[in-house]
Structure 1
Amino acid sequence: MYITQGLHRHLQRCPNATAIRYQGRGITYAEFGDRVARLAGALKGLGVTSGDRVAMLSLNSLRYIEYYQAVPWADAVLNPVNTRWSVTEIIYSLDDSGTTVLIVDDNFLAHASKIIETAKTLRVVIYAGDGETPTGMLNYEALIAEYAPVEDARRGGDELLGIFYTGGTTGFPKGVMLSHTNVCVSSMAIVMSGSCRPHERFLHAMPMFHLADFAAMTALFISGGTHVVLPSFLPQTVLETIATERVSEILLAPTMIQMLLDWRTNIPDTTSLDLSSLQTLGYGASPITPVLLDRARDTFPSAGFRQGYGMTELAPIATLLLPEYHSAEHHQSGKMHSAGQPAACVEVRIVDTEDREVPRGTVGEIAVRGANVMLGYWNKPEATAEVLRNGWMHTGDGGYMDDDGFVHVCDRLKDMIVSGGENIYSAEVETAIASHPAVAQVAVIGIPCDKWGETVHAVIIRKSGTTVTDEQVVSHCRDRIAGYKCPRSVEFRDSLPVSSIGKVLKTDLRAPFWEGRKRGVA
């Protein structure tokens, strides 16, 4: 297996079909393939050799998709950079991976001078913007024009495809080493589940540095279809693009879905947009509340909903919840609110602290085995050994499996609150609070308590134009969950700290409460 295999197939079978739609124009598979081969030629001409790391710091674009194909075509290794990082974190990832080439667009030129000045192994910086090329950089389009196309190295199998950095919230990030097989297996599982079908028009609104989007991109190259690209997620632009480009599939994080629905509700001009082309709405990366899922299903009645659960270390798919389980019947059975069943070619089990599989219905740690499991963490053998044990990737997520093999994720184990000896799963409390009509978003954390060790603290964003008190929130919870799980304190804010895909950063929320105190997790 190799990541460029899908591109080669479609260069043969449909070279004149539209591969990518970006900024109102289309590019065929033949045109795209030529640009990829020329960019690979340029990289080799600049001295990139087998296994060298090439980084990309950019918003979504046609050039980003070219990067994902051209780097392995040139027998090199990907290093997509998180666009939300500080310059210090970016430089760390470049130095840690020994990256020699960086491609940067207009949006991050302000970072470039400090990166060039400080990064230890960086030799070449390529400007992938549309303005005047900064001094000391090479021009992306000029390189493609100057260099002849080269043959694909067909780097593949268990060879290193890329180093995908995760985290950065608890110290410097870890580089996840993924092989071609890792990502291809996950992408094939996506296709086998009925997603990213041939002739699909898939909208890339998630950041392309994120592995969820890259896996979907690879799946679409496997099956054939059109990539519709937005530079970044903006609710109005997403809705308008679905309508004008007749988008049939999209992948979003739950926070993005909420922003989309709120915008459509509050901006009258968007309610008349024709969104009937949308056939599949995929979601993942963080838990979704039943209330939000119901709103989304009401807003997009023609769409089948599909959830993916996993992590970067799993390239990234572990389980999939298919559209047929998004129904009234499975709402009642609870399966609609599970993470689904193990994806094709993946094994999942729930284990205790001694790595023994626990009975169905018992909460333990979710462990995953399969050809999708990472090679390890770059230059971190101890961290690798901690999570890769006996052939299983230990996810750090707590959950249980029902009698039909559906995985129910309870919480990140580090987010579990231990109060008076009782385990409280923040996701369960969040679901209860989120069902209040005045709550737009909520995050639940454990804060220190001299008597109980930890108590439940809720951080809430109210819906616009509504009011709710902390007493009303607690009362609402008492009707839905056990009293010991209800928040002991409530805080109202205008926003929550989030990652690049809208995942709430609970580490940041916990930090001021635990300053000067010892807690078992970060």
Structure 2
Amino acid sequence: MYLTQGLHRSVQREPDAIAVVDGQRQLTFAQLESRVARLAGMFTSYGLDRGDRVGILATNCLEYVEYSFACAWASMVASPVNNRWSPDEMAFHIEDAGITVLLVDGPRLPAALELRDRCAVLETVIVFGAADLPGDTVDYDSALALHGPIPDTHADPDALALLMYTGGTTGRPKGVMLSAGQILTSVLGVLAGSGEPNLPGRSLHVAPLFHLAAFAGLVQASVTGSVHVLMGDFTVEKLVETIAEKEVTQSLLVPTMVQTMLEYADRTGLPIDSLTSITYGASPMPEPLVRRLIERSPDLRLRQGYGMTELAPAATLLRDDDHRNPDHPERLRSVGRAAPHTEVRIVDATGTELPRGDIGEVVVRGSNVMMGYWNNEAETAHAVRSGWMHTGDLGFMDEHGYVFLVDRLKDMIISGGENVYSAEVEAALSQHPGVSSCAVIGVPDDKWGERVHAVVVRTPENNSSGDELRDFVGERIARYKAPRSVDFVDALPLSPVGKILKRTLRETYR
């Protein structure tokens, strides 16, 4: 198995059919294959070899699709940079991964130039979508026109293909190493377990492609021969208008996006009836929203996926028929059952499987489990034990195998579909001179699912406001990770050994 397999199959079947739609720009499958082959040739001309890492800093666009397949075509490693991260986080990613060539879109060109100045390893910046280019950068389209195609290397399915960086509990991002075989195992497992026809459609890529769920969605659309419809930065207006104009049939969304999509479509009258399938994740979908969707569009298929970057990314599936089972409405609060390609267990601290209904850590085993963390054997050994990926999520399994999440060992907060690690926010918040101690937790939020909430003990005679602390954090890490709300207290609840009792705080706020 290799990541360009779906592209070759589509060219063989319908070379002149539309493959990519990005605004008013379109490519056929034959044109996409040709450009991918030439982009792979361009990479080799800059001295890149098999296994070298290539970065991209951009929002979803046609060039992102070409980049993703060109890296696989040349047996190079795609390592997309999170464009919402702070300059420090981006610089760490580039230096840690050893990225020498970075593709960038016009709006992020100043950030890329700053990164090049900061990162000695970064040598070449290739730019698209910019009106004016500095003389020491490369114009994407001009360079592409000068390079001939190279043959597809049909990369080894067990070789490193994707190096995707995630936020870390220690405050430093970790590079998750994934092979083509692991990604395709997850993609094919989801397709096999969904119970859906998996026919070609028009797949809208809304979630940023630097997230693995979105990248896997790109691969899945390629496997099924679907059209890639690209959307850049999310707004509900753009989402609904794109669905209506491009007649989108399927998309990966988070529940907050679905809620606002319905509200905007109802308010404007714009049609979204072309949608036949929605896959969602990050959190369960509220039952009233599910009912509203089914009543509005009885033939719309719903599917929830749970997993993580380290699982390439899927572990469990909640199928469409689970959303429509009147005898078990509680299953809507679950993340479904193990996908065909995985084994899922709930275990105690010793790794022993627990009885059904008992709360423990969710662990997953399968051919989709990551190769490991880049340059981090200690973290890898801690996360993957005897072949089982320890997710850090707490949950229980019912008698029919449905998994219900109840808490997170890693104190990760999912806000608007973005993962935020409390330890990272606490580290930034603690740098403020007016903060004596603090704890960051996720609290329920009608719009975001969860919001980042800080509980702070001030230093004596300090009157820092919540807005001041939020701005302070937003200057040090990505702004979406900054607390949306702050409470000030005289003391935090502590265990006998002095550890902050976050469970107590969560219970208080829930």
TM-score bracket, shorter-length normalisation: 0.7 to 0.9
Query: Structure 2 CA distance, aligned partners of 1:346 and 1:322?
Result: 15
Find 2:271's aligned residue among 271, 274, 297: 274
Alignment partner, residue 519 of structure 1:
500
Q: How do 1:57-456 and structure 2 match up within 5 A?
A: 57-167=57-167, 170-192=170-192, 193-194=194-195, 197-264=198-265, 268=267, 270=268, 272-332=269-329, 334-415=330-411
Q: What secondary structure sits across from 2:47 in the alignment?
A: coil
Equivalent residue letter for 2:34: D
CA contact (8 A) 1:191 1:223 kept: no
Q: 1:104 to 1:169 in 2, by over 3 A?
A: farther
Equivalent residue letter for 2:348: D
- The structural deviation recorded for 1:195 is 5.6
Q: 1:106 to 1:15 in 2, by over 3 A?
A: same
Query: Structure 1 CA distance, aligned partners of 2:310 and 2:351?
Result: 19
**Structure 1, unaligned runs of 5 or more:** 417-425, 431-442, 448-453, 464-490
Q: 1:36 to 1:455 in 2, by over 3 A?
A: closer
Query: Structure 2 CA distance, aligned partners of 1:289 and 1:504?
Result: 23
Q: What secondary structure sits across from 1:329 in the alignment?
A: coil
Equivalent residue letter for 1:377: Y
Query: Structure 2 CA distance, aligned partners of 1:149 and 1:511?
Result: 58
- The structural deviation recorded for 1:360 is 1.1
Aligned length: 455
Query: Structure 2 CA distance, aligned partners of 1:359 and 1:506?
Result: 39
Q: What secondary structure sits across from 1:219 in the alignment?
A: helix
- The structural deviation recorded for 1:264 is 3.8
- The structural deviation recorded for 1:459 is 5.1
Calculate percent identity across the aligned residue pairs: 41
Query: Structure 2 CA distance, aligned partners of 1:298 and 1:25?
Result: 35
- The structural deviation recorded for 1:210 is 0.9
Query: Structure 1 CA distance, aligned partners of 2:91 and 2:66?
Result: 23
Equivalent residue letter for 2:280: Y
Q: 1:38 to 1:393 in 2, by over 3 A?
A: same
Report the more deviating stretch, 138-147 or 284-293. 284-293
Q: 1:74 to 1:462 in 2, by over 3 A?
A: closer
Equivalent residue letter for 1:73: W
Q: 1:253 to 1:460 in 2, by over 3 A?
A: closer
Q: 1:521 to 1:131 in 2, by over 3 A?
A: farther
Query: Structure 1 CA distance, aligned partners of 2:308 and 2:396?
Result: 17
Q: What secondary structure sits across from 2:2 in the alignment?
A: coil
**Cα deviations by residue, 1:468-511 (Å, 9 ceiling, x for unpaired):** xxxxxxxxxxxxxxxxxxxxxxx99xx9999xxx9985988689
CA contact (8 A) 1:278 1:302 kept: no
Q: What secondary structure sits across from 2:283 in the alignment?
A: coil
- The structural deviation recorded for 1:330 is 5.0
**Cα deviations by residue, 1:244-274 (Å, 9 ceiling, x for unpaired):** 2111111112232233234345xx3x2x222
Report the more deviating stretch, 253-262 or 362-371. 253-262
Q: 1:275 to 1:91 in 2, by over 3 A?
A: same
CA contact (8 A) 2:50 2:75 kept: yes
Query: Structure 1 CA distance, aligned partners of 2:4 and 2:226?
Result: 15
Q: 1:230 to 1:194 in 2, by over 3 A?
A: farther
Is 1:35 the counterpart of 2:16? The answer is no
Query: Structure 1 CA distance, aligned partners of 2:317 and 2:14?
Result: 30
Alignment partner, residue 462 of structure 2:
none
**Cα deviations by residue, 1:267-319 (Å, 9 ceiling, x for unpaired):** x3x2x222211111110023433344444445544411110000000000001
Equivalent residue letter for 1:368: V
Alignment partner, residue 54 of structure 1:
54
Equivalent residue letter for 2:201: E
Q: What secondary structure sits across from 2:326 in the alignment?
A: helix
Query: Structure 2 CA distance, aligned partners of 1:388 and 1:405?
Result: 22
- The structural deviation recorded for 1:167 is 0.8
Report the more deviating stretch, 183-192 or 387-396. 183-192
CA contact (8 A) 1:261 1:299 kept: no
Query: Structure 1 CA distance, aligned partners of 2:36 and 2:488?
Result: 48
Equivalent residue letter for 2:400: D
Query: Structure 2 CA distance, aligned partners of 1:389 and 1:156?
Result: 25
Alignment partner, residue 481 of structure 1:
none
Query: Structure 2 CA distance, aligned partners of 1:196 and 1:506?
Result: 42
Q: What secondary structure sits across from 1:95 in the alignment?
A: helix
Q: 1:337 to 1:305 in 2, by over 3 A?
A: same
Query: Structure 2 CA distance, aligned partners of 1:168 and 1:87?
Result: 16
**Structure 2, unaligned runs of 5 or more:** 427-437, 448-465, 504-510
Q: 1:457 to 1:26 in 2, by over 3 A?
A: closer
Query: Structure 2 CA distance, aligned partners of 1:503 and 1:187?
Result: 32
Equivalent residue letter for 1:352: D
- The structural deviation recorded for 1:178 is 0.6
Q: TM-score, normalised by structure 2?
A: 0.81
Equivalent residue letter for 2:122: L
- The structural deviation recorded for 1:80 is 0.5
CA contact (8 A) 1:3 1:156 kept: no
Equivalent residue letter for 1:395: T
CA contact (8 A) 1:257 1:296 kept: no
CA contact (8 A) 1:55 1:101 kept: yes
RMSD over aligned Cα atoms: 3.4
Equivalent residue letter for 1:279: T
Report the more deviating stretch, 185-194 or 391-400. 185-194
Equivalent residue letter for 2:238: T
- The structural deviation recorded for 1:94 is 0.4
Q: 1:459 to 1:408 in 2, by over 3 A?
A: closer
Q: TM-score, normalised by structure 1?
A: 0.80
CA contact (8 A) 2:347 2:362 kept: yes
Q: What secondary structure sits across from 1:116 in the alignment?
A: helix
